[in-house]
Amino acid sequence: MGNCLESPVKSLSPSTSRAISRAVCWKVEFFGILRAWKQNESFISSVLMKGTSTAKTSSSFTGQLSSIGISTYEQFSQNDEAYPEGRILDAPILKVFTFAELKSATRNFKPDSVLGEGGFGKVYKGWLDEKTLSPAKAGIGMVVAVKKLNYESMQGLEEWQSEVNFLGRLSHPNLVKLLGYCWEEKDLLLVYEFMPKGSLENHLFRRGTAFEPLPWNLRLKIVIGAARGLAFLHSAEKQVIYRDFKSSNILLDSNYNPKLSDFGLAKHGPTGGESHVTTRVMGTFGYAAPEYVATGHLYVKSDVYGFGVVLLEMLSGQRALDTNRPSGQHSLVDWAKPFLSDRRKLSRLMDQRLEGQYPTKASLQAAQLTLRCLAIDPKSRPSMKEVVETLEQIESMKWRSREAKSDDSLHVQRQV
């Protein structure tokens, strides 16, 4: 779980714990909503609609969500491959699960099926029948990830709604697929496609046999895919600002194809010629753009800053924020920025686990791009479209023969 940032503008202090006032406020809001829902079921639809761009009536929205037939779901999933550039649906196409179904799919939320834990709560591995999406026996059918709200979580209902509204409607090869949700009494759960290789964060920073160092070209493949995902969000007619770009939110499939997860903080971009939206400061320390932290002004380009921080993590193998580093080095951006513009300094910054196995020219260009993404003025940062193009050029850069340790290691690097 990251170092979440959630505080009123201009009163930020680095802390991994959440603001207690918001917890209380959220709980009041959450249980108030549940009460209202019980009194008037149609209320659920208006809650879910908050933040969506299509002005559907609440009843049609609920109808669409709950009446979605499995054949429609299958059709939707199959059609996915027909849209390599992504698409935005008018309304979420999601299965509504019962709590009992998800309890059964995860073997009663068995502790040994926990995949990880974040601000929302624990994420469990579960099994569903591929066709009917009903619970299946462990090891049979399709593996899914089930995120279950921790009642103590401060990242609650609002984020849950945002996830359903945004991720339920956005479809792109580099966005994780939300399959459905459960909302019963106080239980809020989300069901996603399973991403077998876990998060980029784990691969960059965890040690152990399960996390072999990622070679250079695999790192590039991952950041290019993640950049495409962000570029898709930014290119939508009604732009979407992701707001929580970080390595723990980049999940990897079995071929290391990256997909962005966690749309709990996503927000629609400015409209009517405005340059930014003004909002409460939320996100993760170390990744949030300085203008946003200082003023609450959120730009589309605030996401580009977060992308720059992940590029820096990818190059250096260092976390965005790490209080275990010597003082003066806790914030990666503050400490590492001067290394990015100097060729000799850059080689000292580069991740030791790469063992020098990368084209020098490519690393220099990647460092230049990182610096541009981290520009203080949001206007000076490149668009995500430009970032994708630049990274594709970097990826195509040839290895000079002396840069490869041996033919064997070169082979491994190119195979991925």
Ligand X SMILES: Nc1ncnc2c1ncn2[C@@H]1O[C@H](COP(=O)(O)OP(=O)(O)OP(=O)(O)O)[C@@H](O)[C@H]1O
**Could you list the residues that contact Mg ion (CB under 5 A)?**
118, 249, 262
Piece of 89-97, 243-251, 328-336, 396-404 that binds ligand X (CB under 6 A) = 243-251
Report the binding-site residues for ATP.
148
Q: Say whether residue 135 binds ligand X (CB under 6 A).
A: no
Report the binding-site residues.
148
Q: Say whether residue 120 binds ligand X (CB under 6 A).
A: yes
Please say if 377 is a catalytic residue.
Answer: no
Whether 191 contacts 215, CB under 8 Å: no
Piece of 113-121, 274-282, 350-358, 367-375 that binds ligand X (CB under 6 A) = 113-121
Q: Say whether residue 117 binds ligand X (CB under 6 A).
A: yes
Cβ proximity to ligand X: between 139 and 328 the closer is 139
- DSSP code, position 13: -
The amino acid at residue 170 is L
Min dist CB 101 to ligand X, Å, is: 18
Q: Say whether residue 62 binds ligand X (CB under 6 A).
A: no
Q: Which residue is nearest to ligand X (CB)?
A: 118
Supply 305's token pair: 């800053």
Min dist CB 245 to Mg ion, Å, is: 11
Supply 306's token pair: 């977060």
Cβ proximity to ligand X: between 199 and 318 the closer is 199
Distance of CA 295 to the CA centre of its chain: 23
Cβ proximity to Mg ion: between 153 and 249 the closer is 249
Angle between helices 216-235 and 360-373 (to 10 degrees): 30
Q: Which does 416 bind (CB under 5 to 8 A by kind): Mg ion, ligand X, none?
A: none
Q: Which does 64 bind (CB under 5 to 8 A by kind): ligand X, Mg ion, none?
A: none
Binds ligand X by CB under 6 A, chosen from 4, 5, 260, 282: 4
- DSSP code, position 404: S
Catalytic pick among 244, 262, 303, 351: 244
Cβ proximity to Mg ion: between 118 and 180 the closer is 118
Q: Say whether residue 247 binds ligand X (CB under 6 A).
A: no
Whether 111 contacts 85, CB under 8 Å: no
- DSSP code, position 99: H
* Contacting ligand X within 138-177 (CB under 6 A): 145, 147, 176
- Rg of the chain, C-alpha, whole Å: 22
Whether 253 contacts 226, CB under 8 Å: no
Min dist CB 190 to ligand X, Å, is: 9
- DSSP code, position 25: H
* Spatial separation of the C-alpha atoms in residues 363 and 360, rounded to whole Å: 5
* Contacting ligand X within 204-233 (CB under 6 A): none
Piece of 80-88, 134-142, 203-211, 245-253 that binds ligand X (CB under 6 A) = 245-253
Supply 348's token pair: 């000292």
Min dist CB 239 to ligand X, Å, is: 22
Can you tell me whether residue 227 is helix, strand or coil? helix
Whether 305 contacts 289, CB under 8 Å: yes
Helices (H) and strands (E) in the chain, counts: 15, 16
Helix segments in 51-177, DSSP class H: 58-66, 70-79, 99-105, 157-162
* Spatial separation of the C-alpha atoms in residues 354 and 357, rounded to whole Å: 6
Kindly list the residues in this chain that would bind ligand X in the complex (CB under 6 A). Answer: 1-2, 4, 115-120, 123, 145, 147, 176, 192, 194-195, 198-199, 248-249, 251, 261-262
Which sequence positions are flagged as catalytic? Answer: 244
